[in-house]
Amino acid sequence: MSATPHAPSALPERALQHRAVDVRQLIDDQPVSRYQLSIAAICAAVVFLDGFDAQIMGYVAPALSGELHIGRAALGSVFSSGLVGMMAGALVFGPLADLLGRKPILVVCPLIFGLGSLLTTMATSVDSLVEIRLLTGFGVGGAMSNTIALTAEYMPKRVRASAVMIMFCGFSIGAAAVGWVAAGLIPQPGWRAVFVVGGVLPCMVTVVTLAFLPESLRFLLRRPGGERRAVRILSRIAPAVSLAAGVAFSDEAPHQGFVVNQLFVPARRWVTLLLWAMFFLNLLDLYFVNSWLPTVMRDVGLPQQRAILITTLFQVGGTVGAIMLGRLLDRHVSFRRLALTYLAAAGCVFLIGESGSSSVRLAASVFISGFGVIGAQTSSNALAAEFYPTAIRSTGVGWALGVGRIGSILGPLLGGLLVGTTPRLFVMAAIPLLLASIAAFVASSVGAKDRSS
């Protein structure tokens, strides 16, 4: 994402010295700086590794199950254990970040899932795989919501949706990259080498995060002694603006009480529940398709390596979808547009089942399905980050992702029961997306009523 070419002029120095500075307005009035882009890039690197580790099991499953003699039903529990960990991580680390800060969470979580990936190389049974993937998922789930929240907080409103969605493309690129790594390493030296790559890289990114990633500005401004650090950060975002020593900052008032309760105040209650429904339904579909697609394609006669490479197009399509949909959301943040995206995604998933064993048709249908399904999910992330105020943003996004993980847990489990037994599998896979479309249409109406009340 390039810096904005024509920015509003900087606020006069005298004005800043005689009135409180609204941090949000100051960021909105500035061009996007290299410093802000570096923050988004570090967050993108974290979610790249999230995507790599989150999807790694789907790509290595055929080789792993063959070597360890694990049946499909048992393999479904291995898939789901990582997703249970993601759910727990999102629910735990979202509120923790709103209380303790974004940066500590984004330092600790990559270490957790990097360690989990390395430990997977030593697994010898279903039970050990389940335990290790649970730990790995815990770290992945904790990092995800905080990268979304931090990127949203550092970007001006005019490009916020695009910034969040482009940053989150790191997840799709990571999920695709693990497919390419798996295709190259599984034949020789074997599936364990893929997990070594997935373990070493997070440890390297943690060093970068610790050294260069700043804390949330608005979090700093609510802590004793945080103003000096905030001024240093703001001077890198707006170098032409002089901030006088001891200047007061105006911003959203901190929320009191249990932070999760703030998701259910009257102005947010129904949209929160509808967001949870959308995340649940879309993630159910996303993880069903991504976990079982290589196996389904092998069942129709495609070689393992070709099946893996075609599956990566699901993530490539998602990346393209996120970039294109992000620009639309920047112009007008709208649940109605999200509903139309879900509706289109349902039709695309249906087409996968109509492609038979044709590599060309499968590649095309998988690509456009990724455009719709993953594009809709990144749009949901951006809308959630926009909907919730700063003080509860990590909690709002984290709990939406956490509830959505229930769907992502059920997706692979349902796949274990249905793959090979249901001829119209992808007709059924389109149904959750149709329901998500209905939920988004309802949210567009409910949100308008809440704003008018």
CATH of the domain at 33: 1.20.1250.20
Q: How many domains is the chain partitioned into structurally?
A: 1
| Parent domain of 141 | 14-452
Which pLDDT belongs to residue 65?
77
Q: CA 417, CA 80: separation in Å to the nearest integer?
A: 13
pLDDT value for 55: 78
What whole-number distance in Å separates Cα of residue 437 and Cα of residue 372? 12
Q: Are 98 and 132 in contact (CB under 8 A)?
A: no
Q: Is residue 392 part of a domain?
A: yes
Report if residue 281 sits inside a domain: yes
Determine if the peptide bond prior to 62 is cis (ω within 30°): no
| 20 is a domain residue | yes
Torsion angle, alpha carbons of 332, 333, 336, 339, to 10: 120
What are the backbone dihedrals phi and psi of residue 250, each rounded to the nearest 5 degrees, phi first?
-100, 145
What is the model's pLDDT at position 231?
A: 84
pLDDT at 17: 46
Residue 8 lies in a domain: no
CA distance 162 to 268: 23
Tell me the C-alpha distance between 74 and 240, whole Å.
60
In the Cβ-directed half-sphere of 451, how many Cα atoms lie within 13 Å?
Answer: 8
Say what the pTM is. Answer: 0.77
- Both tokens assigned to 129: 């795989």
- Evaluate whether residue 226 is within a structural domain: yes
Residue at 7 is within a domain = no
pLDDT, mean of each 10-residue run, the chain (453 residues): 43 46 81 92 93 82 77 74 86 86 92 92 86 91 89 88 87 83 84 90 93 87 79 84 60 56 84 94 86 75 77 84 78 80 88 77 88 88 85 86 86 74 74 93 73 42
Query: What does the pLDDT look like over 378-415, one tens digit per residue?
Result: 888 888 888 888 778 888 888 998 898 888 888 877 77
Identify whether 4 is part of a domain: no
What is the pLDDT, as a whole number, of residue 440? 92
Q: Specify if 3 maps to a domain.
A: no
pLDDT of residue 421: 61
